[in-house]
Amino acid sequence: MLFLEGIEYRIWDPRRSKLGAMVLKKFEVPLRKDSRVLYLGAATGTTVSHVSDIVSEGAVYAVEFSARSMRNLLGLADRRKNIHPILADAGRPERYAHLVGAVDVIFQDVAQPNQAEIAAKNAARFLKKEGFLLLSLKARSIDTTASPKQVFKNEVKKLEEAFEPKFEILKARELAPFHEDHLGLIAKIRVSENEKI
Amino acid sequence: MKVEGWFGTLELSPEGAVLASVLYSKDPRELTERSFTLSETKSFLPPPGFDLRKASLEYGIFESGAEYDSLLHELTLRKAKLQVSKALSVDQRIIQAVEALDDINETTNSLSERLFEWYGNHFPETGLTGEPLASFVAKYGNRANVSPFDPLYEKAKVSIGAELPEADEALIKAFAESLCSLYARRKQLEIYIEKSLDTRAPNLTLLAGPMLGARLLSLAGGLSQLARFPSSTIQVIGANKALFKHLRARAPSPKHGIIFSHPLINTAPWWLRGKIARALAAKLSLAARVDLYSGEKRPELLEKLEAKVGRIKALYPTPPLKKSGIKAEKSRSSEKRKGPGKGNGKAKGKSWGQEKAKNKSCREGKFSSDTKPATNSMKGRGC
Ligand SMILES: C[S@@+](CC[C@H](N)C(=O)[O-])C[C@H]1O[C@@H](n2cnc3c(N)ncnc32)[C@H](O)[C@@H]1O
């Protein structure tokens, strides 16, 4: 933590946070101070704490699967009233549907082989029509044999076509040198043609 | 349309406007209880994109967004704390027990080797090792004390072993007693682990057996971690340890994780093992998830696994054609040997099978609690 002219600054290490890396990679991170964010794969809360800073009048629903990580996250959630910790599998959003409601942003960093599907399931349930999905894809947790480039291509295609809702990718960029073989993505729910008319 | 939210039930018009509500009390403790139930119910979920917070505020259920947020915060915090302490305490107890068991195994292995050498000076003809030897020594000490009703009585009378002075006898007897009580602790731990795992993860226990299941849980760091692993990871869990051993002691390089100690795999013909391992890993992964989320026992998981293995066996009744089989294995095994082992890279058809066998016995030694104590110490003594 730093103090400059009476203002408190926190250090945000892009190598420890995918979102931090995305900021440095010139993603326009669509977080406002009243945003409500569904954060999937909260781990011990390194990034969640920064999101919580930004959405000072909003909320972060922090979903994490591992009880061990959640234990650390709870310390943070105890102090910060805008973090709602949820111990659950992000692949089963129906289990926390009664808690979450609608959100402006879904941030997902779960390092799972079925990341695209998890994103779609959660977006279908919770993401507002005009909301954003931010995603960090880890090539090695999806397929260890294919090249990262190929994996990314497949995953993008999945996001665009395979599930409901289908996404429109606004920006995709690798997060190297902060995170090797990770792709950062920002997407919106694609409005289907007949709905547009 | 009825919708369940954490604060109560809403009746919605087809357009999504709130028509009526049945609310729970605003007591955080009660809300937490409800939330546990709501996580299990799949009906009355809010429709896609439905804004619970906005709707409840518009309908006047809460005075302000701040009230909504702070009550929800209390609920989620409370619920997550309960879940964490429950999950961590059970898993941690199992993990500690598994690790204690491993420690005991390592200790009994080396102590029983010591006893074998030590007592062998005095009475080399017992033919006993491990636990039977320890209890024999603890019982009699000097071979002169062997009871006439003991099957080893005759051998004791004609033994070529050296004398055992009283002071030495007292020492070696006490040593053997300590070893016996370690064996008793081991049994106790095994029973404890079997019971706890069956309660925590009945389906994993059903498919993997309690000891293998407990080891998987332990190496993964908990049931939730295990449930999160893709099945390809479950296939190699435990290989790291073997890799260490391999680097240190030139043990065969690990090809497989601990699931290869599963009877469905280690009794299968070699050319099916990889395929069965994949099927088993997939089902174990499913079982762990069922255990984590529903906890109810689903016997059909085992039936499905057995059916699948049956299909694999029917599909590949004979080994693959020699040529391609050898070739593939040749390149793979020489690759493996690039590591620290000196490896002569000559992997011909026959030695392939032998290598497999060697590998297996190594694994048995390592996970000794799954095998008979006698085999353990035999192995220790061997060569
Ligand atoms: C790479 S870490 C996230 C790091 C975090 N985003 C940060 O920057 O501080 C991935 C996390 O996702 C969690 N996770 C993996 N699969 C999950 C699932 N299906 N549901 C919820 N959490 C999951 C893991 O337990 C792990 O803590």
For chain B, 383 residues long, give each residue's pLDDT as a single digit of tens: 899 999 999 999 988 888 999 999 999 999 999 999 999 888 899 998 899 999 999 999 999 999 999 999 999 999 999 999 888 888 999 999 999 999 999 999 999 999 999 999 999 999 999 999 999 999 999 999 999 999 999 999 999 999 999 999 999 999 999 999 999 999 999 999 999 999 999 999 999 999 999 999 999 989 988 998 888 888 888 876 655 555 555 555 456 788 888 989 888 888 888 889 999 999 999 999 999 877 778 899 999 999 999 999 888 888 877 655 444 444 444 444 444 443 343 333 333 333 333 333 333 333 333 333 333 333 333 33
Nearest CA-CA partner of B375 in B364, B118, B261, B383: B364
> What kind and span of H or E run contains B276?
helix B270-293
Cross-chain residue pair B293–A99, CB shorter than 8 Å: no
Rounded Cα distance between B71 and B62, Å, is: 10
Rounded Cα distance between A188 and A64, Å, is: 23
- Which of A68, A86, A102 has its CB closest to that of B88? A68
Give A7's strand partners: A4
Ligand 1 atom closest to Cα of A107? 6
- The DSSP 8-state label assigned to residue A57 in this structure reads T
Largest CA distance in chain B: 98
Q: Which range of residues forms the domain containing residue A130?
A: 32-191
Q: Are the C-beta atoms of B202 and B213 separated by less than 8 Å?
A: no
Q: Are the C-beta atoms of B225 and B201 separated by less than 8 Å?
A: no
Nearest CA-CA partner of A99 in B46, B22, B61, B47: B46
The minimum CA-CA distance between A126 and chain B, rounded to whole Å, is 5
Q: Percentage of residues in chain A with pLDDT exceeding 70?
A: 94
Could you tell me if the CB of A90 is within 6 A of ligand 1? yes
What the block records as the tokens of B124 is 């080399």
Task: Quote the ligand 1 centre to B300 CA distance (angstroms).
Answer: 31
Domain membership flag for residue A44: yes
What is the predicted pLDDT for the residue at B357?
37
Nearest CA-CA partner of A106 in A186, A45, A47, A170: A186
Q: How far is CA B136 from the centre of its chain?
A: 32
In A, minimum Cα distance to B224 occurs at A66
Could you tell me if the CB of A110 is within 6 A of ligand 1? yes
The pTM for the full model equals 0.65
What is the predicted pLDDT for the residue at B107?
95
Nearest CA-CA partner of A115 in A128, A102, A106, A126: A106
Q: Are the C-beta atoms of A21 and A175 separated by less than 8 Å?
A: yes
User: Is residue B13 exposed (0-12), middle (13-18) or buried (19+ Cβ within 10 Å)?
Assistant: exposed
Nearest CA-CA partner of B264 in B190, B208, B205: B208
Rounded Cα distance between A188 and A129, Å, is: 8
Domain membership flag for residue A4: no
A–B CB contacts, 8 A cutoff, strictly below: 114
Torsion, Cα B167 B170 B175 B180, to 10 degrees, reads 160
Contacts of residue B6 in chain A, CB cutoff 8 Å?
98-99
Number of other CB atoms surrounding residue B205 within 10 Å: 24
Rounded Cα distance between B84 and B350, Å, is: 52
Q: To 5 degrees, how large is the angle CA B20–CA B25–CA B29?
A: 140
What the block records as the tokens of A23 is 């900021």
Could you tell me if the CB of A119 is within 6 A of ligand 1? no
Domain membership flag for residue A78: yes
What is the predicted pLDDT for the residue at B260?
86
Rounded Cα distance between B273 and B312, Å, is: 10
Domain membership flag for residue A26: no
Q: Are the C-beta atoms of B185 and B104 separated by less than 8 Å?
A: yes
Give residues with Cβ within 8 angstroms of B119, minimum separation 6. B126, B133, B137, B172, B176
E strand map for B217-354:
none
Rounded Cα distance between A128 and A103, Å, is: 6
The residue whose CA has the least distance to atom 27 of ligand 1 is A43
Q: Are the C-beta atoms of A85 and B80 separated by less than 8 Å?
A: yes
Task: Quote the ligand 1 centre to B211 CA distance (angstroms).
Answer: 28
Domain membership flag for residue A2: no
Q: What is the mean pLDDT of residues A10-36?
A: 89
What the block records as the tokens of B183 is 């064996």
> CATH number for the domain including A174?
3.40.50.150
Number of other CB atoms surrounding residue A130 within 10 Å: 10
Nearest CA-CA partner of B366 in B358, B276, A15: B358
Number of other CB atoms surrounding residue B345 within 10 Å: 13
What is the predicted pLDDT for the residue at B379?
36
Domain membership flag for residue A24: no
Interface of A with B (CB under 8 A): 36, 59, 61, 65-68, 70-71, 73-74, 77-78, 81-89, 92, 94-102, 112-113, 124-129, 141, 144
The minimum CA-CA distance between B39 and chain A, rounded to whole Å, is 4
Cross-chain residue pair A127–B51, CB shorter than 8 Å: no
Contacts of residue A70 in chain B, CB cutoff 8 Å?
80, 83-84
Give residues with Cβ within 8 angstroms of A9, minimum separation 6. A1, A2, A3
More confident residue, B36 or A6: B36
What is the predicted pLDDT for the residue at B367?
35
Instruction: Provide the number of structural domains found in chain A.
Output: 1
What is the predicted pLDDT for the residue at A161?
92
Rounded Cα distance between B356 and B328, Å, is: 15
Q: What is the mean pLDDT of residues A101-123?
A: 93
Decide if pLDDT at A43 tops 60: yes
What the block records as the tokens of B277 is 């391992």
Domain membership flag for residue A21: no
Rounded Cα distance between A158 and B113, Å, is: 58
More confident residue, A141 or B252: A141
What is the predicted pLDDT for the residue at A28?
87
Rounded Cα distance between A155 and B257, Å, is: 29
Domain membership flag for residue A25: no
In B, minimum Cα distance to A110 occurs at B228
